Amino acid sequence: MFEGLKPLPQDPILQLMQTFRDDPRDDKIDLGIGVYKDDSGNTPIMAAVHEAERRLLEQEVTKSYVGPAGSAGFNQAIADLVLGADNALIRDQRVSVVQTPGGCGALRMAAEFLRLCHSDTTVWVSTPTWGNHLPLLGGAGLAIREYPYLDSQTLQVDFDRMMGALEQASAGDVVLLHGCCHNPSGADLTVDQWQQVTDLMLKKGLLPFVDMAYQGLGDGLDADAAGLRHVASRVPEMVVASSCSKNFGLYRERTGALMLIGETADAQKAATSQLLSVIRSHYSMPPAHGAAIVETILGDEGLRSQWQSELNGMCERILHLRHAFAAALAPAGDFGFIARQRGMFSFLGIAPEQVRQLREEFGIYMLDSSRVNVAGLNDQSMPRVAEAVRSVL
């Protein structure tokens, strides 16, 4: 059965992780792996998460299944977090949320659901986009088309080309948008651009599909959701994939959610019943622990305040690193775009051979595309990284 199978090349990010681990140099620096790191280079457990887990350990009385939809309390908390607790869509029962195994689970179940709606569904994805978007969506059988997003020269959103490409989309096509902190570029749409994109989707009958993986790590929880909330307030239907990996630091707990917004409460209920059937046929039910942590934090005023303070601190640290990195690179050219962008990632805009030179000569690791994890820097390592980048330029 297996004898005809050939080994596949390793995922570039996973391969970079292994190469970094194998590097014996003590002063090596990892700017490639997409996790938040503190000043000590660790990916910490938030204090609010520690306290929530302590309470769960004392209070949890069962390990029974949670059901295909997951925890109702978690789902309601995510709806309030993403859309705002006073959102009319929630009051009108046009919103449903199901708990998923991470943001990846939300994306894949959304893809399976969309294929169930229309077997020939086409989804438009930005160029560039997160590397796993294509296999998660395309692997479910969706047709993939790409729209230009980033100007490779200015490393800013190429909005005119983006809109021009989406003008070619057909009614019923799906448009995947990053809610904030675009991965891998860090270049986000402005409020005005979100409004124009919404107008275009309404005019052409397109379905918005927003991936919200970094809420709270750009400009704050509400500011980061402003574009998504504007779209949701105007369109009849919408899909949202949400992740708790970054803003709660729950990477290995695989905690995410998938939201459907229907034109009416009845349409939402019918769509949700179909989605739950899809989930049941794939992984049956999501894991409980990560969602229980989030539900505990968001359901307790003290814990929520502590978590939001910690999250704000992470956000402020990333913004500080962005401004400091742009200033440190300034002698080699205009890197002001790094300070203007948001989230953990930016492209340096250097060539693959220069990226390899940084890795081989200086032990500084990033993807060949020159995408760097800004949160992997700190005030101690930054001068060395900046000097190395200036030297290869």
Active site residue 194: no
Q: What is the pTM of this model?
A: 0.95
Active site residue 257: no
Q: Can you give the pLDDT at residue 38?
A: 94
275, 299, 323 - which closes a domain: 299
299, 325, 348 - which closes a domain: 299
Beta strand segments in the chain, E: 29-30, 95-101, 122-127, 143-148, 174-178, 207-212, 238-243, 255-261, 345-347, 364-365, 371-373
Query: Which of the residues in the chain have pLDDT under 70?
Result: none
The active-site residue out of 246, 288, 291, 375 is 246
| Rounded distance between C-alpha atoms, residue 250 and residue 255, angstroms | 7
Within a domain: residue 53? no
Structural domain harbouring 333: 12-45+303-392
| Rounded distance between C-alpha atoms, residue 295 and residue 23, angstroms | 40
Q: Can you give the pLDDT at residue 178?
A: 98
Q: Can you give the pLDDT at residue 14?
A: 84
CATH number at residue 167: 3.40.640.10
| Rounded distance between C-alpha atoms, residue 248 and residue 14, angstroms | 23
282, 299, 316 - which closes a domain: 299
Asked whether residue 225 falls in the same domain as residue 313, the answer is no
Active site residue 246: yes
| H or E, element range at 105 | helix 102-117
Q: Coil, strand or helix: which one is 239? A: strand
Active site residue 130: yes
Asked whether residue 217 falls in the same domain as residue 270, the answer is yes
Return left, alpha or beta for 370; rule: phi > 0 is left, psi -120 to 50 is alpha, else beta. left
Within a domain: residue 55? no
Q: Can you give the pLDDT at residue 10?
A: 81
Asked whether residue 205 falls in the same domain as residue 73, the answer is yes
The active-site residue out of 124, 130, 194, 307 is 130
Q: Which is nearest to 130 in space by CA: 198, 181, 164, 190?
A: 181
CATH number at residue 318: 3.90.1150.10
Convert the pLDDT of each residue in 201-245 to its tens digit.
999 999 999 999 999 999 999 999 999 999 999 999 999 999 999
Asked whether residue 130 falls in the same domain as residue 26, the answer is no
Q: Can you give the pLDDT at residue 8?
A: 87
Asked whether residue 21 falls in the same domain as residue 122, the answer is no
Q: How many domains does the chain have?
A: 2
